[in-house]
């Protein structure tokens, strides 16, 4: 069964012109370096989804930088190849909706048939994107008790979120985030707007169909 990816956007009006595809998908970025720390140009970086087998390849530029864009959230295996260097492999790297995961590759001199392998390593501190967001995985969704099984109640567990039910009668799922008005909240399903003209969500997905819930508190990337 195909599961949905939900995104809640809590931001001011000036920041509501978002690129929905970027919220739905994620990307990998990083640099490819030799043992001395010098950039390797022309290295091929391939990310392969463990769930679907989908793969995408990028080539590092003169500064050794690469970017793999618009990748569906999930777990990926990354492989880096370059002439005169051992292959580099980073397995089990997770990417979430709207996130940029940084994976740098330090290549060692050797034959291509030799592989330097690490497991699930990506930069923990996000330095490539100033967006502030909170992601709830499918496991957490399944294990969280929600009154009425309404997945949008998950927005109340994020830092800065306050339930204003009974005190604020705007439409926006009874939650104010970081002091922003309730009806400024936006709702997306698989990157497509789910916000009605009145300010609230149009449809509420069944909890069991949701793969991932992400709350985006601030979008300043401009990407």
The Cα–Cα gap between 197 and 215 comes to 20
The Cα–Cα gap between 151 and 213 comes to 8
CB atoms within 10 A of CB 131: 19
178: its two tokens: 């970081």
The residues that bridge with 66 in the sheet, in sequence order, are 30
What is the residue whose two structure tokens read 């949701």?
Answer: 210
Query: 27-119 has which fold?
Result: Immunoglobulin-like (2.60.40)
What is the residue whose two structure tokens read 């260097």?
Answer: 85
Task: Supply the pLDDT for residue 155.
Answer: 81
CA nearest to 101, candidates 66, 50, 60: 66
> Tens-digit pLDDT profile for the chain (223 aa)?
566 666 666 543 333 333 344 467 889 999 999 999 999 999 999 999 999 999 999 999 999 999 999 998 889 999 999 999 999 999 999 888 778 889 999 999 886 566 666 766 655 555 656 566 677 777 887 888 777 788 888 888 777 788 887 777 778 787 887 777 878 888 888 778 888 887 788 888 888 888 778 777 665 554 4
Strands 210-218 and 4-10: parallel
Task: Supply the pLDDT for residue 16.
Answer: 35
CA nearest to 3, candidates 92, 76, 74: 74
Where are the domains positioned within the chain? 4-22+130-218, 27-119
CA angle at residue 76 from 70 to 81, to 5 degrees? 95
Query: Is pTM beyond 0.75 here?
Result: no
Task: Supply the pLDDT for residue 79.
Answer: 95
Say if residues 163 and 173 touch (Cβ distance below 8 Å): no
Its sign, for the CA torsion 166, 170, 171, 177, is: negative
Burial class (CB in 10 A: 0-12, 13-18, 19+), 212: buried
Task: Supply the pLDDT for residue 53.
Answer: 94
Task: Supply the pLDDT for residue 64.
Answer: 97
């Amino acid at each position: 069964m195909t599961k949905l990816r939900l995104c809640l956007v809590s931001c001011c009006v000036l920041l509501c012109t978002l690129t929905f595809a970027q919220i739905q998908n994620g990307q990998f970025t990083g640099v490819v370096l030799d043992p001395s720390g010098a950039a390797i140009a022309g290295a091929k970086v391939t990310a392969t989804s463990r769930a679907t087998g989908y793969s995408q390849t990028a080539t590092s530029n003169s500064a050794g930088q690469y970017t793999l864009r618009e990748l569906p959230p999930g777990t990926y295996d990354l492989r880096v190849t370059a002439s005169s260097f051992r292959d580099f492999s980073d397995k089990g790297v997770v990417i979430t909706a709207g996130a940029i995961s940084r994976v740098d590759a330090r290549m060692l001199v050797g034959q291509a048939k030799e592989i330097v392998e690490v497991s699930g390593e990506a930069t923990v501190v996000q330095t490539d994107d100033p967006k502030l967001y909170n992601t709830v995985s499918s496991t957490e969704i399944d294990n969280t008790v929600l009154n009425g099984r309404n997945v949008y109640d998950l927005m109340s567990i994020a830092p800065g979120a306050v339930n204003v039910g009974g005190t604020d009668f705007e439409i926006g799922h009874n939650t104010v985030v970081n002091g922003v008005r309730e009806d400024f909240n936006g709702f997306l399903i698989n990157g497509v707007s789910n916000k009605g003209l009145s300010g609230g969500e149009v449809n509420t997905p069944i909890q069991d169909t949701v793969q991932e819930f992400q709350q985006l508190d601030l979008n300043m990337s401009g990407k």
